[in-house]
Amino acid sequence: MSRTATITTDHGSAKRAAMVAAALTPDNTDEMTTTTDGRQVTMTIERETTGGLQATVDDYVVNVRIADELTDTTQS
């Protein structure tokens, strides 16, 4: 039985969401999918163990936060 998490984040614009998704996608494993829908990026993660899912979600949250900050052109 596998465990699944789906995380959706809003990035303010479709362009920025696409940039965030492009920054995150190279790190995806076969059990991870990244999609965009307008301003949102959705990541679905599947792992065999709860601990593995938690570790992957933790990594993703850090990575999406950094990608979001790096694509924020409104800050100096």
Sheet containing strand 3-10, edge to edge, reads 3-10, 40-47, 32-37
pLDDT of 76 over the 80 cut? no
The whole model's pTM is what? 0.89
Hey, where are the domains in the chain?
3-70
In sign, the C-alpha dihedral spanning 54, 56, 58, 64 is negative
For domain 3-70, give the fold: TATA-Binding Protein (3.30.310)
pLDDT of 68 over the 80 cut? yes
For 13-52, write each residue's pLDDT tens digit: 999 999 999 999 998 999 999 999 999 999 999 999 999 9
